[in-house]
Amino acid sequence: MSDRTRVVVVDDHPLFRDGVVRTLETEPDLEIIGQGASAQEAIHLSQALLPDILLLDISIPGGGIQAAQAVASGCPVTRIIMLTASEDEDDLLAALKAGARAYILKGVSARELLSAIRSVIAGESYVTPALAASLLSEMSGASGKTRLPASPLDELTERERQILEQVAQGNSNKEIALSLHLSEKTVKHYMTNVLQKLHVRNRVEAALLAQKK
């Protein structure tokens, strides 16, 4: 069960959201860990839970594109999938620029949705074929050019800072988990996020960077 993909679903239409959740809950390899209805909730849930997948609608209060930008920047381990009714190519481009890995129209079947989700889990990208998938390859070059902040450490959340401080002190994941009342798996998940934010390869490099700071 520990290998299940952790999913958060954010959509401001409860009936539709419930349907998506029920569909995903029947899959043994997927686990719904949170639900929301706004951009603010999408950002909060992503920072608090660090899901593997965030299913996000564009038209949620606060804006799905803005939420995608914040999550892509703050939670790089979370892969964003836009699940929307908008067929506007400008929305598609904006979503991909914001960091979304997939853009799926709400009219898809459950089978197609699951297939797209699993493609993203496998590290691929997906765009509903009807929306000219050629746009995806056009965007792939631009999305690869990530802008480094003045100090990557400034991008860490409070929880990530707490964990990194203990890593810098030489504590193991198990010791950190006990200290912060978290599971060891959660600590590992946070550390994966920290390594990606700091652009380092392992916890030793992360610790050295923290000590320099």
Domains and CATH numbers, the chain: 5-143 (3.40.50.2300), 152-212 (1.10.10.10)
Average pLDDT of span 87-106: 88
Q: Which secondary structure element, helix H or strand E, spans residue 205, and what is its range? A: helix 203-212
Beta bridge partners of 55: 9, 81
pLDDT confidence band for 125 (50 / 70 / 90): confident
Position with higher pLDDT, 36 vs 96: 36
Q: Tens digit of pLDDT for each residue in 3-22?
A: 899 999 999 999 999 999 99
Q: What is the pLDDT of residue 148?
A: 44
- The residues, any chain, with a CB within 8 Å of residue 61's CB and separated by 6 or more, are 12, 37, 38, 39
Q: What is the pLDDT of residue 133?
A: 47
Q: What is the pLDDT of residue 199?
A: 81
DSSP category for residue 12 = S
Sheet with 5-10, side-by-side order of all strands? 30-36, 5-10, 53-56, 79-84, 102-105, 126-127
Q: What is the pLDDT of residue 99?
A: 92
| Contact by Cβ (8 Å): 6, 53 | yes
pLDDT confidence band for 132 (50 / 70 / 90): very low
Q: In terms of pTM, does the model score above 0.75?
A: no
Position with higher pLDDT, 40 vs 93: 40
Whether pLDDT at 130 is above 80: no
Average pLDDT of span 22-50: 96
Give CA–CA dist 175/178, Å, rounded.
5
Q: What is the pLDDT of residue 170?
A: 85
| Contact by Cβ (8 Å): 117, 81 | yes
Average per-residue pLDDT in the chain? Answer: 86
Position with higher pLDDT, 142 vs 71: 71
- Dihedral sign for Cα 180, 183, 187, 190, please: negative
Tell me the two tokens of residue 162: 């707490």
pLDDT confidence band for 2 (50 / 70 / 90): low
Tell me the two tokens of residue 24: 């995903």
| Contact by Cβ (8 Å): 44, 89 | no
Give CA–CA dist 107/130, Å, rounded.
11
